[in-house]
Amino acid sequence: MGQTLYEKVFDRHIVREVTAGQYQLAADLHFLNEVSSPQAFEALRERGLRVRHPGRTFGSADHSISTGGDPLDFVDPMAAEQVEAMGRNMAAFGLTYFDPSRGEHGIVHVVAPERGLTQPGMVIVCGDSHTSTHGAFGAIAFGIGTSQVRDVLASQTLLMEKLKVRRVEITGRLAPGVYAKDVALHVIHVLGAKGGVGFAYEFGGAVVDGFSMEERMTLCNLAIEGGARCGYVNPDQTTYDYLRGRDHAPQGAAWDEAMTAWEQVRSDRDAAYDDVVVLRGEDIQPMVTWGVSPDQSVPVGGAVPDPTAISGQEQGPTRDVLDFMGLRPAAPIAGTRIDVAFIGSCTNGRVSDFEAVADQLRGRGLRVAPHVRALAVPGSRRVREALIAKGIDKVLIEAGFDFRDTGCSLCCGMNADSLKGQETCASSSNRNFRGRQGSPTGRTMLMSPVMVAAAAIAGEVTDARRFFAQPTEPGAKS
């Protein structure tokens, strides 16, 4: 019986079995951010420990960095302190820092892949749940807590239990206007936000095989929202084509050797899975979340639940959630008024995400609705520069988007970009938890970047496929 990529990579990284089922696992790479690293460095200092493998440790400040122009212009003194501590720690321990004062920064899950750090067969850890993003390359990548950040800094290893593996196969093809984000939200809707607890998700099938690396990153990014600690796609030619020539990718003879090694980590044809789920690409519609958990979603043509139609224990909580979201029971999701639109985050803050939006807007004279605040926040400085080089910034600005500098921004509301009061935000990010976007009563509706753009212009949730198909100006052709 063959093995899955997860098992192969896990086994190769075992230093030893510490107790039954508990392994000491080596990490190839460790990424740091300003939120979960300061206490780890504090603990290291307290114990007089050094960073064991500085060459495998990379950091970027992303969560609280300012996106208003000067990345270090903080409105919040605590954010300033955090980013300062990050810079100090990176220098003191001799680690590679994508320094905001040199304009190298960005969301670490965007920066590391674009620099070719993330490679197939690696174990990658970071004190952030969305580390699962890196699984797009056939790496086993997962979020860790601050204690584990301390452990990895001190030992380049951590304690791990082996996960089960569920293959999630998306067959057939997607209809036009359906994106990787919709696939991810659909998977989470079908399997539940907790459905993946205890599992690694292996994504495959014709739809995933046909995805670009950026689409695969969107999908793996959201694995954690389905409860899976990590998600991955087996490496293939798409992976290698993306990696070739990037800053940290192997070169020359090392490249050929690496390719051979990468081919070997793919799941075997006869690999045994703990579970297999097959979903049809044709069944997937543009999705919108109506609630406060990422599995509370409906296709854009659908309606929010009617608590009276739900029996038993779920009725009360559903009513609470609808109250919180300001939604009427059984109302169609389309037509929900929005106040804020956000395109960005490690889920959907890459070049192709903004490109897809610009393709809908270009030359149409479309404008963001007067009552909507619309933010476009590139996932990294490099993404920002690429967008400017392609003229995409202008398309967004002309449509009334605030084209900002890079950072996590409104995904987590830890810098000045946050919701106010009960504002409703159409968001391309990954979490719709209460209070997530910086206001305890703020409301988040997750959807694809193109759906966010349509909502920004319409001023309400709308089916982007129909919305962008209409001629909008006298004589305008679509």
Partner 1 sequence: MNTVSDDPRIVSVSGRAMTLRGDDIDTDQILPSRYLKAITFRGMEAHVFADNREAARLRQRRHAVDDPRFAGASILLVNRNFGCGSSREHAPQGLRRFGFQAIVGVSFGEIFAGNCVSVGMPCVQASDSVVSIMQRINEAAPSTRFTIDLAMLTVSAGNESFPVTLAEGRRRQFLDGTWDPTSVLLGAGDAIEQTLTTLSLAASAT
Q: Which is nearer to partner 1, 389 or 433 (CB)?
A: 433
Structural Rg of the chain based on CA atoms = 22
Q: How far is the CB of 131 from ligand SF4 (least distance, A)?
A: 9
**Could you give the CA distance from residue 451 to residue 404 in angstroms, rounded to a whole number?**
20
At 264, list the tokens. 């070997």
> Min. distance of Cβ 192 from ligand SF4 in angstroms?
20
Distance of CA 240 to the CA centre of its chain: 21
Give residues with Cβ within 8 angstroms of 470, minimum separation 6: 478
Sheet strands side by side (includes 140-143): 96-98, 57-60, 29-32, 123-126, 140-143
Helix (H, G, I), strand (E, B) or coil at 445: strand
Alpha carbon distance 142, 131 (integer Å): 5
Please, what is the minimum distance in Å from the beta carbon of residue 273 to ligand SF4? 28
At 113 the three-state DSSP class reads helix
Minimum distance from residue 90 beta carbon to ligand SF4 (Å)? 18
Instruction: CB nearer to partner 1: give 158 or 454.
Output: 158
Among residues 250 and 344, whose Cβ is nearest to partner 1? 250
Task: Give the nearest distance from C-beta 218 to ligand SF4 in angstroms.
Answer: 11
- Kindly tell me which of 305 and 349 has the beta carbon lying closer to ligand SF4: 349
Amino acid type, 371 = H
Return the sign of the alpha-carbon dihedral for residues 190, 433, 158, 139.
positive
Residue 341 interface partner, choices partner 1, ligand SF4, none, CB cut-off 5-8 Å depending on type: none
The residue (of 31 and 262) whose beta carbon lies closer to ligand SF4 is: 31
Contacted entry of partner 1, ligand SF4, none for residue 277, CB cut-off 5 to 8 Å set by kind: none
Nearest CB to ligand SF4, comparing residues 224 and 366: 224
Place of tokens 């460790």: 30
Identity of residue 127: G
Q: Nearer Cβ to partner 1, position 194 or 466?
A: 194
Residue 198 touches which member of partner 1, ligand SF4, none, C-beta under 5-8 Å by kind:
partner 1
Q: 127 is in the binding site of which of partner 1, ligand SF4, none (Cβ under 5 to 8 A by kind)?
A: partner 1
Report CA torsion sign: 67, 425, 454, 367: negative
Binding footprint of ligand SF4 on the chain (CB under 6 A):
62-63, 107, 109, 128, 130, 345-346, 408, 411-412, 429-430
Partner whose binding site includes residue 22, from ligand SF4, partner 1, none (CB under 5 to 8 Å by kind): partner 1
CB 284 within 8 A of CB 174: yes
Q: Please report how close the Cβ of residue 200 comes to partner 1 at its closest, in angstroms.
A: 12
CB of 333 to partner 1, least distance (A): 21
Residue 411: which of partner 1, ligand SF4, none does it interact with, CB under 5 to 8 A by kind? Answer: ligand SF4
Sign, CA dihedral 399-68-449-206, equals: positive
